[in-house]
Structure 1
Amino acid sequence: MKSIFVALSLLLIVSTIECTQRVTVGVYYETICPGCRSHFIQAIVPLKNQLGQYVNIDLVPFGNAHFYSNGPQCQHGQLECYGNAFQACSLDMNGFETAFKLVECMFRSAYFSNPEYSSKQCSQQLNLDYQQLDSCANGQKGLQLIREMANKTPNHQYVPWTTVQGRFVDGNVDLVDYICENYLNDVPACN
């Protein structure tokens, strides 16, 4: 009887270890980039839906922006800087799950190229405190968070830029298949 208990305890420990194996996926993007929009909707959302319990997705809204002493300058202008800051504020204030829904909503919005509108629309849809997020995005906290995003962004050639366990993965690669084949081939979600 004792040996059965020990065997079941070991099995539980092993299955717990397997369930905690997590792969880190870095998603480096900007909020008005059409390619980032497509990549997020077609690759990142399915990845989260299929392998969410096995991956840590790190959303980094900065992309090809540059940070100067007077603040960020974004590839698609100030609206994009606002969108990046708004999403960084949501990550900081609301946590990953809620921020992920906000990013997805803003990318799916018919007004995705105007983050001032899509951020308000999506905040209302998700019952988020738009005023608080907007104040953050337009204030010193937003600036600080964007500086953190700039520091997290690796050298890259273009956006979207996705890494798995710190290594670049081409956007044409099916992320779910790639992660299953290279990191999670023994988990049920990959079989």
Structure 2
Amino acid sequence: MAFYTCNRYRIVIFVLLVLIIFQLIRLLSDKPVAILSGSDLLKLEDDAYNKHKKDKVKVRVYYEALCPDSKYFFVKHLGPVTEKLSDFLDITLIPYGKAQTKEEDGKYYFHCQHGEEECFGNKVHACAIELIGNMTEYVQFTDCLFSVFEVEAALKKCSNKFNVDKDQILRCANSEHASELLKKYGDDTHIIEPGFIPTILINGSKDNQGGILKNFLLEVCKRIDMPLPPPCL
């Protein structure tokens, strides 16, 4: 009798399991499948709907054209991170550093930490930034300029590499317009009073310079909303 009762319970449980599975299958089959329309796909690519692209991490880099520490930051940190996370960054370059500006008879003159060649280099950088316009491209171009110490040789190499008009940059660098650009960058730099070059502001703050200079990628990733992009994982 006990054997019969046990089998009966097994049959009941089996029937209940079959009924549950059947109900689950029916519910799943009735659930509408989400299909992205053309407009939905466009929204995924549109900056207006992309929170990451709307809320980009704002980075301001205060540096000098012939500064070894500036070169190290560009080559080891800023260049690689910009390449990986350009969609998440809004970068502004300020080539001035610890220079000083003097005005005489309506003209600007500069004294730079690493000599006259650096003043000329800062002007070349300023003119290149203005000419190129695109953030990712001018970061890459400036990164390239640091690969050769002599300013005009660096400009020649990088202009060929990135198909940029070298002569236009040189004309600008030797003009009063370059001095005006450098004066503007100097005013910007004096506002933050950098104690060290390079100084990097992230979202308007110059806190934790040691951490930024040591691991720029980590500091940027800390400020990107979830879900994090692959380079941050």
The TM-score, its normalising length taken from structure 2, stands at: 0.71
Matched, 1:123 2:159: yes
- Structure 1 counterpart of 2:214, from 173, 181, 184: 173
- Quote the residue 1:137 is aligned against: 173
Q: Distance in 2 between matches of 1:18 and 1:158?
A: 31
Q: Distance in 2 between matches of 1:151 and 1:176?
A: 28
Matches within 5 A, 1:37-76: 37-69=71-103, 70-76=108-114
CA-to-partner distance for each residue in 1:13-55, whole Å, 9 max, x for gaps? Answer: 9952343220101111101111110111111012202221101
| 2:82–2:139 Cα contact (<8 Å) kept | no
Q: Structure 1 residue aligned with 2:185, among 135, 149, 166? A: 149
What is the distance in 1 between the residues matched to 2:132 and 2:180? Answer: 17
In 2, the alpha carbon distance for the partners of 1:160 and 1:185 equals 29
- The C-alpha deviation readout for 1:52-96, integer Å capped at 9, x for no partner, is 110111111111111111411111111111111111111111213
SS at match of 1:167: coil
Structure 2 match to 1:34: 68
- Which residue number in structure 2 is paired with residue 158 of structure 1? 196
Show structure 1 runs of 4+ deviating over 3 A.
11-15, 182-185
One-letter amino acid matched to 2:77: A
Which of 40, 58, 78 is 1:24 aligned to?
58
* RMSD of Structure 2 on Structure 1 (CA): 2.5
Task: Tell me, yes or no, if the aligned pair for 2:82 and 2:136 is still in contact at 8 Å.
Answer: no
**Structure 1 portions without partners, runs of 5+:** none
Aligned to 2:227, the other structure's residue is in SS state coil
Which one scores higher on RCO, CA 8 angstroms, separation ≥ 6?
A: 1
**Corresponding residue number in structure 2 for 1:108:** 147
Percent of residue pairs bearing the same amino acid type: 27
Letter in 1 for 2:99: A
Q: Deviations over 1:127-158 (max 9, x none)?
A: 22111110100111111111111122121101
Where does residue 138 of structure 2 map in the other structure? Answer: 99
| Larger CA Rg, structure 1 vs 2 | 2
The CA distance in 2 between the partners of 1:41 and 1:130, in whole Å, is 22
Which deviates further from its counterpart, 154-163 or 168-177? 168-177
- In the aligned structure 2, how far is the partner of 1:15 from the partner of 1:100? 26
Larger displacement relative to structure 2 (14-23 or 125-134): 14-23
Contact 1:87 1:99 in 2 (8 A): no
| 2:214 aligned counterpart, secondary structure | coil
Q: Answer whether contact 1:71 1:143 (CA < 8 A) is retained.
A: yes
How many equivalent pairs are there?
A: 185
Shift of 1:101: 2.4
Cα distance in 2 for residues equivalent to 1:142 and 1:62: 12
